[in-house]
């Protein structure tokens, strides 16, 4: 059978067709515009998502046996606010995850409602990108549009709604709205009251692998597919990507070195750290996960290479870096502020420790190391909760660098597994569809059979010791300059 995975990203939708053995048959990408109507705002038109998804599906299916397509699963950009009226018309452009307009509302939630109460209601505190602050912003700034809103959903749920008619979401994606009681897997009555919304405005909740409906007959006819094709609830992009890398079960870890950086730790049990430094979310495998999210990861290296060194030859710049664990230069990777574990939008990047003998290679090395030191800050929070992580998968554009993988293994003191198929949320969505269609009994078994490790980078004891000393130095810098950022 064939299972289709949809990755609804910020710049494009990526679709793939996977067979029951996990082999990818075809991949199609369709781009759509991103709008910045005011400084700090970030919006998209949900109709663009749907139109390009349909175009992508049509292209994907041509050339493969359409009669074998059994299910569709989507992973998508999280936190975005999609509002529909009673006639299912989009009320306003979707406000995206990277939109920064909700500072006032985020402060209200964290300081007036209070972080302790928010954590009690949702297991998390408010971040500017989350959905609840956007609802409050809309209520305050666009009251007429807010009053017209009959349905509130997330980006990938809009696609599911258009394809199947099911008004649904999954627990992993809903976790990032600040409306879900993550521990008990239900909408929080308190948060609905705070945001001024009703239960019927929110979608029905499902596990990511559960079937929510079938393809609408008219769309099936248009695409040349059976109307019996099943749609599963899908997952938020990070949870879907974790499924796609086999990061399911107890104590499994995945590190993503993309534009932003994440450390994703799956868990059988619900956990929250005392300071809410990590996101505590439901996972697509039916259990839970902790996640640390850095706002700048591979984008730090891109900035350094493209804007400062003015080169596109990233590999060449890394060739001469040899003295690992001995660099006297440090880099704080906060180019866009920081989310985990500091939750400080005012934080900024800086180099520390340059001397007259500092070289170009030292600076490049510091940028790469700084990102992994930042991820280790989140890992240390997880370790304090008693979670033992001994190895990690790695994905994202930064994972293509052998040097960066070696730094990751030694700074985190973990074995780093490189996987055969690195297609992110789309691959995870296809796996979830396969589980929903009964191809596998559960997500863990599916991922165990389909995700294959092709290489492992092991930490070297001597290098681990050197980097331990460097990390202890690195972790002193942010607390030392935190107040300067505020000023």
Give the residue ranges of the annotated binding site for substrate: 78-79
Phi-psi region of 130 (alpha: psi -120 to 50; beta: other; left: phi over 0): beta
108, exposed or middle or buried, with CB in 10 Å at 0-12, 13-18, 19+?
middle
Of the chain, the end-to-end C-alpha distance in Å amounts to 59
Q: Which long-range contacts (CB under 8 A, 24 or more apart) does 87-90 make?
A: 88/151, 88/161, 90/45, 90/46, 90/47
3-state secondary structure at position 269: coil
Q: Are 198 and 192 in contact (CB under 8 A)?
A: yes
Please tell me the distance from the alpha carbon of residue 26 to that of residue 15, in angstroms, as a whole number: 8
Known binding positions: 78-79
Tokens of 168: 């649904």
Q: Distance between CA atoms of 345 and 440, rounded to whole angstroms?
A: 43
Residues 151 and 162: beta-carbon distance below 8 Å: no
Answer yes or no: are the C-beta atoms of 39 and 100 closer than 8 Å: no
Please list the alpha-helical segments (H only) found in 1-128.
Answer: 46-61, 103-107, 115-122
Distance, in Å, from the CA atom of 54 to the CA atom of 74, rounded to the nearest integer, reads 13
Across 269-309, where does the E strand assignment appear? 279-282, 288-294
Helix (H, G, I), strand (E, B) or coil at 238: helix
Q: Where are the beta strands (DSSP E) in 9-81?
A: 12-19, 24-31, 43-44, 69-76
Phi-psi region of 123 (alpha: psi -120 to 50; beta: other; left: phi over 0): left
Looking at the annotation, which residues are catalytic? 237
Distance CA 45, CA 189 (A): 30
Q: Which of 418, 376, 383 is nearest to 261 (CA)?
A: 376
Token pair of 339 as six digits: 């989310």
Nearest partner of 267 among 245, 252, 246, judged by Cα: 252
Both structure tokens of 148: 């017209």
């Amino acid at each position: 059978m064939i299972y289709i995975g949809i990755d609804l990203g910020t710049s494009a939708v990526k679709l793939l067709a996977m067979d029951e053995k996990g082999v990818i048959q075809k991949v199609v990408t369709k781009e759509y515009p991103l709008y910045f109507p005011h400084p700090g705002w970030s919006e998209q038109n949900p109709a663009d998502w749907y139109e390009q998804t349909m175009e992508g599906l049509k292209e994907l299916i041509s050339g493969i046996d359409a009669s074998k397509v059994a299910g569709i699963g989507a992973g998508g950009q999280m936190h975005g606010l999609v509002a529909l009226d009673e006639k299912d018309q989009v009320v306003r452009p979707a406000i995206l995850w990277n939109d920064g307009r909700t500072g006032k509302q985020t402060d209200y939630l964290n300081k007036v409602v209070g972080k302790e109460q928010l954590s009690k209601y949702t297991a998390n505190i408010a971040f500017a990108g989350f959905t609840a602050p956007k609802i409050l912003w809309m209520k305050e700034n666009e009251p007429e549009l807010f009053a017209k809103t009959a349905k509130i959903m997330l980006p990938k749920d809009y696609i599911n709604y258009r394809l199947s008619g099911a008004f649904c979401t999954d627990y992993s994606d809903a976790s990032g709205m600040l409306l879900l009681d993550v521990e008990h897997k239900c909408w929080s009555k308190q948060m609905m009251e705070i945001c001024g919304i009703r239960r019927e405005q929110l979608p029905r909740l499902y596990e990511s692998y559960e079937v929510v409906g079938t393809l609408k007959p008219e769309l099936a006819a248009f695409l040349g597919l059976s109307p019996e094709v099943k749609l599963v609830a899908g997952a938020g992009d990070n949870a879907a990507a974790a499924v796609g890398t086999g990061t399911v079960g107890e104590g499994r870890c995945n590190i993503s070195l993309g534009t932003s950086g994440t450390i994703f730790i799956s868990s059988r049990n619900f956990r929250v750290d005392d300071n809410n430094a990590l996101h505590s979310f439901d996972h697509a495998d039916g259990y839970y996960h902790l996640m640390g999210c850095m706002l700048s990861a591979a984008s730090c290296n891109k900035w350094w290479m493209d804007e400062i060194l003015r080169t596109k030859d990233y590999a060449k710049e890394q060739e001469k870096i040899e003295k690992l664990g001995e660099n006297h230069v440090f880099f704080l990777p906060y180019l866009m502020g920081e989310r985990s574990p500091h939750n400080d939008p005012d934080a900024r990047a800086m180099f520390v420790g340059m001397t007259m003998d500092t070289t170009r290679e030292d600076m490049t090395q510091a940028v790469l190391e700084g990102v992994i030191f930042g991820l280790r800050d989140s890992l240390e929070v997880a370790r304090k909760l008693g979670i033992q992580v001994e190895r990690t998968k790695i994905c994202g554009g930064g994972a293509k660098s052998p040097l960066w993988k070696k730094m990751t293994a030694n700074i985190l003191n973990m074995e780093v597994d490189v996987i055969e198929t690195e297609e992110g949320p789309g691959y995870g969505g296809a796996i979830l569809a396969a589980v929903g269609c009964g191809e596998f009994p559960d997500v863990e078994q599916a991922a165990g059979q389909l995700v294959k490790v092709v290489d492992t980078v092991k930490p070297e004891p001597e290098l681990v010791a050197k980097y331990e000393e460097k990390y202890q130095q690195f972790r002193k810098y942010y607390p030392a300059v935190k107040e300067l950022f505020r000023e």
